[in-house]
Each structure stands twice: as structure tokens, then as C-alpha cells.
Amino acid sequence: MLSRQVSTLRAMKLARSQELPADPRRSRRKPRGLGVLAGASRLRDPSTGEERYSLDLLDLDASQPALERIPLDVFGHGLAVHPARPREAVLFEKQGRQGRQLDLVERRVVQPIAPLPGHLFYGHGAYSLDGEALFVVETCAESREGVVSIRDARSFAVLGAFPTYGAAPHDCRLIEGGRTLAITNGGGPIGSSSSPCVTFVDVMSHKLVERHEVRGRDRNAGHLAVGRDREFAVVSAPREGLPAATSLGGVSLRARAQPCFPMTAPGVVVSRLVGEALSVTIHARSRTAVATHPDADLVTFWNLDRGALAGSLELPGPRGVAITLDERFYVVSYGDDARLMLIETEGLRPLADHRLALEALAGAHLYVLAL
């Protein structure tokens, strides 16, 4: 049985970090420009047929953006950047045993990271605000019970663990000045009593603070975007055991202090959302949640206050979505040749001159960094 106790010294450090009145990063001057785009890729070498993996970096502010790659021996999924040392990042594979610490400046792998015994990484993690600890989402390979391992941010030694309060967890977001971890739990297969849900867990006491079931028996809980007052958007794929090619995924929203509801209208759009809804983000100023639907060839935009569709964009195989540092644009990756598009956050107008064919950033997610 894993100990849930963190060493006294570490607990004191974590407690001090959680007592900050606000995220200290907010007091820094807001970076100008679009930022550096980062994302994992898996591409096949046309000459050998061999799959190659990398973390791709692209400076969106450069007059002629030049792609840089960090070669990897594993297909990465989620990326987390150290809050005080932004050249340091960790990357995890989805439902696997491989994690890597990266140096984003020297463009190299620093060291591997292993899961808890008998567990799998499920793709995502988050640093504490002081950068002393790393919280990593993991799943027991046998029982599917979810756990968050607490690790030293330099050595990645395990300091403790706490439950995700669900099965097959995936995404996580550290919120509320670092005091709370928001987690998605995918749930069990179709017919299982283990329901998909979003949980909010106090990182010091390890107690469950809130739990929100994702309604609809046929969909799981995948990726998550969190706004103020624990409002969120969560995207779903069909539950395990259902045919992914013909079953619906979708988007669920929770506005402030309201229940979580799946988006069921308009039918002409929702009926097209077959397969996985993959990536999601929230643009706070316009109160808009954005989701990608690769199998439906759609990007959808949802108004948080009205709980309704604000717009949609036809795009072949959209995957990652992120917001530029100046918050003027959404960046979306799409297509078999891994293109990029910028979309204005106000007005949702696509910029045709930013349709860059890069054959890069072809993974599930995009991240915008201030490197």
C-alpha cells in the first residue's frame, strides 16, 4: 500500500507554496508577442518507414519561423514546464511507462522518469507553484484506480501519493494558487459502475473537495480546461467498449457554481462529433471554450455563460489547440501534413496567411511557452 505521507520538510515547503495569496507568475510582466509553440510529434520516415518521435518548437514571433526538434525515443503526450526554471520541462506518454525530463534550451533529454510500481503514466502532470514538487497522474495497471504521485522536482523521487477519486484518470490542472488539483477520471468501460468525472482534490490534505460526473453513459472524461471559480470545459471520447468510428464524443461545460452539462445542441453540429473530442482550452476574456474533433473535421467554440455553441470551423483532422501569449489568437494544428492555423479570439476569423505546412507538432496537444 502506497504511503500517503509526504516527508515533514517537503510538506512544509508545499504548505508555504499553497499559502501564497495568488499565483506569483501573475505579478510578472506579461510577455509580448505570440510565444514559442511546443508539441510532440510522431512521424514516419518516408525512406525507411520507421516511426520517429520528437518535441517540436516553433517561434511564432520570428519573421520566418524555423522549426527546431528535440529527438525522443518515446511518443510524448502531455508537457509541463517548470514555473521557476522555464528551460526545464517534463513529458509523459499516454497510458505507458515512459516519462522524460527535457532541457528546452539545449534541446536534449536530461533523464528518464518511471511510474510507480505496477502503474502507468496517463499522459499529464503539473508542477507546484514553487517548483519544488511535481504531481503526476498515474493509474494502477490492474485495478485502473487513479493516483497522483508527488515527486521531487529535481530527482523525481516519490515523496507520496493521493487518490484521483476515480478510474483511468488522464488530465490535471493545478488551480487556486496551487492549493487544488483538478483531475479528469475517464471511468470504466461501457456498463461499468465507475463513472467518468472531474474531481477537485486538496493537494495538502489529499481530500476530495468536489466531484462532477460527466453525464451520458456513452462518453468518458478526457482533457480539461479550467477557468475561474472551478468552471471548466471537459472533452470526451466514446466509452471503452463502444465502436469509436461510429460513437459520439463531445463537450461538457460547467459555468460558475452550476452543474456540469453535456452540450446537446444544435443537433446538426453535435450529431457530427463522432469519435474523440481531443484538445480543449478556455479564452477567459471572451468566455469561450474551444475544442478539436479530429474525426469530425471540426473545431467547435462554446460560450460558457450561455452554455451554447458560439461557432464552428470546418478543418481536416484538427488536433491541438492553444492560445498565444498575447491572447489574440488560437493556434490549431490540423491535417495529415500537420499544418498550423491562427484564428482570432475576437471574431473567430481564420488567418489564411498563417496556414503553415510544417510536418511537425503532429501530436495531441499544443503548448505556448515564453522561452
Q: Is the pLDDT of residue 254 over 80?
A: yes
Q: Three-state secondary structure along 7-21?
A: CHHHHHHHHHHHCCC
Q: Is the pLDDT of residue 338 over 50?
A: yes
- CB-based contacts of 334, cutoff 8 Å, min separation 6: 292, 315, 316, 317, 318, 319, 340, 341
pLDDT attached to residue 1: 36
pLDDT attached to residue 138: 98
Least confident span in 14-18, 155-159, 191-195, 292-296: 14-18
Helices (H), 204-312: 267-270
> CA 50, CA 46: separation in Å to the nearest integer?
8
pLDDT attached to residue 317: 96
**Residue 269 per-residue DSSP state:** H
> CA 57, CA 179: separation in Å to the nearest integer?
31
Q: Which amino acid is at 114?
A: A
> CA 169, CA 11: separation in Å to the nearest integer?
24
What's the Cα-to-Cα distance from 273 to each of 80, 330, 339, rounded to whole Å? 29, 20, 21
The larger pLDDT score, comparing residue 46 to residue 342, is at 342
The larger pLDDT score, comparing residue 3 to residue 191, is at 191
Q: Is the pLDDT of residue 8 over 60?
A: no
Where residue 7 falls among pLDDT bands split at 50, 70, 90?
A: very low
Give the β-pairing of 329-334 and 339-344.
Answer: antiparallel
Asked if 14 contacts 148 with a C-beta cutoff of 8 angstroms, the reply is no
Query: What percent of the chain shows pLDDT beyond 90?
Result: 78
- Which residue, chain included where needed, has cell 460560450? 303
Helix, coil or strand: residue 18: helix
The predicted-structure confidence for 184-225, as pLDDT tens digits, reads as follows 999 999 988 899 999 999 999 999 999 999 998 899 999 999
What's the Cα-to-Cα distance from 319 to each of 43, 56, 71, 218, rounded to whole Å? 15, 15, 21, 22
Total number of residues shown for the chain: 371
pLDDT attached to residue 29: 52
What b/e sequence results for 255-272 when a residue is b if at least 16 CB atoms lie within 10 Å of its CB, and e otherwise? beeeebebbeeeeebbee
Asked if 52 contacts 206 with a C-beta cutoff of 8 angstroms, the reply is no
Residue in 205, 211, 222, 92 with CA at minimum distance from that of residue 169: 222
Least confident span in 113-117, 150-154, 171-175, 351-355: 351-355
HSE-up (13 A, CA, CB side) for residue 364: 20
Least confident span in 8-17, 149-158, 326-335: 8-17
Mean pLDDT of 168-189: 96
Q: Is the pLDDT of residue 130 over 50?
A: yes
Query: What percent of the chain shows pLDDT beyond 70?
Result: 89
The predicted-structure confidence for 290-300, as pLDDT tens digits, reads as follows 999 999 999 99
> CA 129, CA 319: separation in Å to the nearest integer?
28
pLDDT attached to residue 30: 52
Q: Is the pLDDT of residue 132 over 50?
A: yes
Q: Is the pLDDT of residue 319 over 50?
A: yes
Q: Which amino acid is at 286?
A: S
Residue in 319, 317, 248 with CA at minimum distance from that of residue 290: 319
Where residue 13 falls among pLDDT bands split at 50, 70, 90?
A: very low
